[in-house]
């Protein structure tokens, strides 16, 4: 097989001459690149013995661990489509994904059984040929409707990984602090692929815990995080230059980094955080430069081979500096939504003869004369809380069924720790009992989506069409978490 036809083979070529170096340093363990190569090979064989064949989906909801990384790589080697799920999802939420993805195998909770099986297997030989095929499928929601599986191909992931490892100057000498979850693009692909392409060491923490992260920063060189990581570090009064002596780069994304956090971090540590922008469907789209101006409030230039533009409501390109809907095309853009041809078609705009079509991101932004993108919010009601996306509709549907709730509107309002905090505004009947809300959501909705505050009102503001005016609600409750 041509090694460019399998993502694991591409990554392996990056660390092939560093097999005896540390890959994952976890709180309990030190895992070398050779260890992960052998373990992922055995797990790939174990998948085969369970009947998994190339193209089959494998749904995985497990805690962050070195074996979880090995299982991801095993899926790549076996040619299975890796489908990671947030550990916080409830049984009801997981049931939807399993029904939709029709997986050959579901791994939930413990990896022990699979790891025991793998111990008795010979590592899989040649990796599966996956040229032009889906390597992983990650669920992402629209504003209405159910989550959709975004199909990411070998080439989507490989092109993005190569571009980022180059742009951000990764080398074998880097040591990456990894405190992100590994069920999303950020922690799974962006962080791990950059490290593997260069054979770097990764300080692999189970979650973001501020004292463990501070300890890990000492001796490390790069960290990737969501803005909440940076505001939590700044909330430590004695955090500063001493913590960052060996660091060369802090990267932020998944949610807007405020100019005030950017400025405070620079003032405290001497480091200007490098902000970049991406989406599940596209991987990374733009990045501020490693060398050159990192401008707070902008998300930088398109990656090599990636094109962006802002368009007006008729689909015409906006003049320089004018805000429109951001569209993107390039090798990073996904193959489509799993078994949703209509939704896929309506998410793209015709790119003209012989050109790729444009993917419509739904983000609003403007492009300046230097080609730099500045985001200006979203065209939708999406809430981004601590870097996790939350769709109001999903919560409103459950709230509207709670006894005593007449109607509800869920919005995101500024939250000092999470960026956006989830607020539910409800119109209640006389018999409403506030405890009924928690009782109705528990077990049905992942806890990070639960409203952090519930406001009871006599009616919701509506426009002439009868649609709830969420912008007015956001203004009215702007200070609720401050
Ligand atoms: C946890 N909780 C949250 C969140 N996380 N509530 C709202 N928003 C959140 N993000 C709730 C839990 O349900 C729990 O509630 C309580 O907070 C404590 O849980 P714990 O797990 O201890 O929270 P934490 O460790 O403080 O986590 C906060 C966090 C984490 C560190 C910000 O959410 C995180 O690591 N976020 C990163 C997400 C990420 O990787 N995003 C990238 C997506 P209760 O007590 O009620 O049970 S990829 C992407 O967006 C694109 C492609 C891109 O550009 O990267
Ligand atoms: P997801 O659906 O989880 O892939 O989240 C993608 C969304 O996160 C994008 O459409 C943006 O709205 C948002 N996002 C990612 N990076 C940034 C950033 N640097 N600044 C603002 N928003 C961002």
- Reported as a pLDDT band with limits 50, 70 and 90, residue 466 is confident
- Reported as a pLDDT band with limits 50, 70 and 90, residue 143 is low
Percentage with pLDDT > 90 across the chain: 94
- Reported as a pLDDT band with limits 50, 70 and 90, residue 165 is very high
Highest mean pLDDT of the ranges 206-215, 437-446, 455-464: 206-215
Instruction: Please report the atom of ligand 1 found closest to the CA of residue 181.
Output: 40
Q: Is the pLDDT of residue 142 over 80?
A: no
* Distance from residue 322's CA to the centre of ligand 2 (Å): 20
pLDDT of residue 5: 97
Q: Is the pLDDT of residue 167 over 90?
A: yes
Q: Is the pLDDT of residue 261 over 90?
A: yes
Domain boundaries, the chain: 3-277, 383-476
DSSP 458: S
Q: Is the pLDDT of residue 146 over 90?
A: no
- Reported as a pLDDT band with limits 50, 70 and 90, residue 122 is very high
* Distance from residue 190's CA to the centre of ligand 2 (Å): 14
pLDDT of residue 170: 98
| Homologous superfamily of 383-476 | ANL, C-terminal domain (3.30.300.30)
* Distance from residue 386's CA to the centre of ligand 1 (Å): 5
Evaluate: CB of 378 within 6 angstroms of ligand 2: yes
pLDDT of residue 12: 98
* Distance from residue 235's CA to the centre of ligand 2 (Å): 24
**Residue 285: strand, helix, or coil:** strand
**What pLDDT digit, counting tens, does each position of 342-352 carry?**
999 999 999 98
Evaluate: CB of 280 within 6 angstroms of ligand 1: yes
Q: Among all ligands shown, which has an atom nearest to the Cα of 283?
A: 1
Q: Is the pLDDT of residue 14 over 70?
A: yes
Evaluate: CB of 387 within 6 angstroms of ligand 1: yes
Evaluate: CB of 279 within 6 angstroms of ligand 2: yes
Evaluate: CB of 447 within 6 angstroms of ligand 1: yes
Q: Is the pLDDT of residue 435 over 80?
A: yes
Evaluate: CB of 375 within 6 angstroms of ligand 2: yes
Q: Rounded CA gap, 250 and 180, in Å?
A: 14
What does the pLDDT average to over 277-281?
A: 97
* Distance from residue 274's CA to the centre of ligand 1 (Å): 21
Buried-state track 246-277, b at ≥16 Cβ within 10 A, e below 16: ebbbbbbbbbbbbeebbeebeebbebbbbbbb
What does the pLDDT average to over 235-258?
A: 97
pLDDT of residue 465: 86
What does the pLDDT average to over 51-56?
A: 98
Q: Is the pLDDT of residue 436 over 80?
A: yes
Of the candidates 120, 218, 130, the one whose C-alpha atom is nearest the C-alpha of residue 177 is: 218
Q: Are strands 148-153 and 105-109 parallel, antiparallel or unpaired?
A: unpaired
Average pLDDT, the chain: 96
**What pLDDT digit, counting tens, does each position of 359-404 carry?**
999 999 999 999 999 999 887 889 999 999 999 999 999 999 999 9
Q: Is the pLDDT of residue 300 over 80?
A: yes
Instruction: Please report the atom of ligand 2 found closest to the CA of residue 361.
Output: 10
* Distance from residue 382's CA to the centre of ligand 2 (Å): 10
- Reported as a pLDDT band with limits 50, 70 and 90, residue 144 is low
Evaluate: CB of 412 within 6 angstroms of ligand 2: no
Instruction: Please report the atom of ligand 2 found closest to the CA of residue 281.
Output: 4
Evaluate: CB of 276 within 6 angstroms of ligand 1: no
pTM of the complete model beyond 0.85 = yes
Q: Please choose from 252, 254, 388 the residue to mutate so as to test ligand 2's pocket, defined by most ligand atoms within 8 A of CB.
A: 254
> Using CA atoms in the order 102, 393, 475, 278, what is the torsion angle rounded to 10 degrees?
20
- Give yes or no for a contact between 186 and 358, defined as CB atoms under 8 angstroms apart: no
**What pLDDT digit, counting tens, does each position of 178-218 carry?**
999 999 999 999 999 999 999 999 999 999 999 999 999 99
Q: Rounded CA gap, 223 and 252, in Å?
A: 9
Domain spanning 3-277 has what CATH number?
3.40.50.12780
- Give yes or no for a contact between 6 and 129, defined as CB atoms under 8 angstroms apart: yes
Tokens linked to 371: 């080609």
**Residue 461: strand, helix, or coil:** coil
């Amino acid at each position: 097989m041509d090694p460019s036809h399998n993502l694991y083979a591409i990554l392996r070529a990056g660390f092939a001459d560093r097999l005896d170096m540390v890959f994952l340093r976890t709180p309990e363990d030190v895992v070398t690149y050779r260890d992960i190569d052998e373990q992922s090979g055995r797990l790939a064989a174990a998948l085969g013995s369970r009947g998994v064949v190339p193209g089959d989906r494998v749904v995985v909801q497990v805690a962050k661990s070195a074996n979880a990384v090995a299982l991801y790589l095993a899926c790549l080697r076996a040619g299975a489509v890796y489908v990671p799920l947030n550990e916080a999802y409830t049984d009801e939420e997981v049931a939807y994904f399993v029904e939709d993805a029709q997986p050959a195998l579901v791994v939930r909770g413990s990896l022990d059984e699979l790891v025991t099986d793998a111990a008795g297997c010979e590592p899989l030989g040649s990796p599966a040929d996956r040229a032009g095929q889906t390597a992983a499928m990650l669920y992402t929601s629209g504003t209405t409707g159910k989550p959709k599986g975004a199909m990411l191909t070998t080439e989507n992931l490989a092109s993005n990984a190569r571009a980022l490892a180059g742009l951000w100057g990764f080398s074998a000498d880097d040591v990456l602090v990894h405190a992100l979850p590994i069920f999303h693009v950020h922690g799974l692909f962006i962080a791990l692929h950059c490290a593997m392409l260069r054979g770097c060491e990764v300080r692999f923490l189970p979650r973001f815990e501020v004292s463990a992260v501070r300890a890990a920063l000492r001796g490390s060189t790069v960290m990737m995080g969501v803005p909440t990581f940076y505001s939590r570090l700044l909330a430590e009064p004695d955090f500063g230059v001493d913590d960052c002596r060996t660091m060369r780069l802090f990267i932020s994304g998944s949610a807007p980094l405020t100019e005030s956090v950017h400025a405070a971090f620079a003032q405290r540590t001497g480091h200007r955080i490098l902000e970049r922008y991406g989406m599940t469907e596209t991987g990374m789209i733009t990045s501020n430069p490693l060398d050159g101006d990192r401008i707070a409030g902008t998300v930088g230039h398109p990656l090599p081979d990636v094109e962006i533009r802002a368009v007006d409501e008729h689909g015409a390109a906006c003049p320089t500096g004018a805000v429109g809907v951001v569209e993107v095309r390039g090798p990073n853009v996904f193959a489509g939504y799993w078994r949703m041809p209509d939704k896929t078609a309506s998410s793209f705009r015709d790119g003209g003869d012989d050109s790729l079509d444009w993917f419509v991101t739904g983000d609003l932004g403007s492009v300046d004369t230097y080609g730099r993108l500045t985001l200006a919010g979203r065209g939708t009601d999406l809430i981004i809380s601590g870097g996790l996306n939350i769709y109001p509709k999903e919560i409103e549907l459950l709230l509207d069924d709670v006894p005593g709730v007449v109607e509800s509107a869920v919005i995101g309002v500024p939250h000092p720790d999470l960026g956006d905090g989830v607020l539910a505004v409800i119109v209640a009947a006389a018999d409403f009992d506030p405890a009924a809300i928690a009782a109705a959501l528990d077990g049905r909705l992942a806890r990070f989506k639960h409203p952090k505050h519930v406001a009871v009102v006599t009616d919701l503001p509506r426009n002439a069409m009868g649609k709830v005016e969420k912008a007015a609600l956001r203004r009215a409750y702007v200070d609720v978490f401050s």
